[in-house]
Amino acid sequence: MRYQSTITRLSLAAVFSFTLLCAQQPDSQATQPDNTRVNKTDRDASAPTADQAKNNKSDRETMAKIRRSIIHDKTLSTDAHNVKVIAQNGTVTLSGPVRSDEEKRAVEEKAAAVAGRDHVTSQLTVKSNAAERSQ
């Protein structure tokens, strides 16, 4: 009787462990997000990318100040918080999608406040409602 009780407990533990293991496996059938359309600017060979940012102190500080200003503004969406800020010899390029024209202006103004309006190039795009619904 004691032997059966031990086997029953071990069997239940094995089933429970297997169930937990299966529950933790990622769903391979889940649809992965496709933001290919949103990242069109990254395909343009002439558009600056983050790896082309200059590593001089002035450009690093400029990027950090702009990034901090954007991140600290809690009224901006996650999209706006994740825009690319690239500084090259004092010129800042902003790229990526934002949710609205107001967010686009806010991010551009934050960059202009740090780098100067004449030193900011905006490649920011406003997501369409259709693009938002598909993500």
Residue 79 CA, chain-centre distance (Å), reads 7
This prediction's pTM: 0.61
Domains of the chain: 40-134 (3.30.1340.30)
Q: Which helix (H) or strand (E) holds 132?
A: helix 129-134
Look up residue 108 and give its DSSP letter.
H
pLDDT in tens, 29-75: 555 555 555 555 555 555 665 555 657 899 999 999 999 999 999 99
- List pLDDT tens digits, range 2-23: 556 666 776 666 666 666 666 6
104/122 Cα distance (integer angstroms): 9
Rounded-to-10 torsion of CA 16, 22, 25, 31: -140
Q: What is the pLDDT of residue 55?
A: 74
Read off the pLDDT of residues 88-122 as tens digits, 9 standing for 90 and up.
Answer: 999 999 999 999 999 999 999 999 999 999 999 99
